Amino acid sequence: MPVRRAPGFACVVAGMQTRWTPRAPSPLRETAVYVPAQIVGAIAGAILADAMLGEPLVTWSTHDRSAG
């Protein structure tokens, strides 16, 4: 026996497909999300590495670094 659907079912599905169809993100928006995500990931990775090695999670550098 075929499945009976409500009369407006096709319209609802078509509307959902139109609404949820992914669009190509704008380069500015993509960059605005990508850059902070990379920074947060780098900081979280450094903290996780310190935790795995039993080091203090966050410390200030005491080395004087110079280019010359």
pLDDT tens-digit profile of 33-51?
Answer: 899 999 999 999 999 999 9
Question: What band does 3 get if pLDDT is binned at 50, 70 and 90?
Answer: low
Confidence bin at 2 (pLDDT 50/70/90): low
Q: How far apart are CA 10 and CA 18, in angstroms?
A: 12
pTM: 0.53
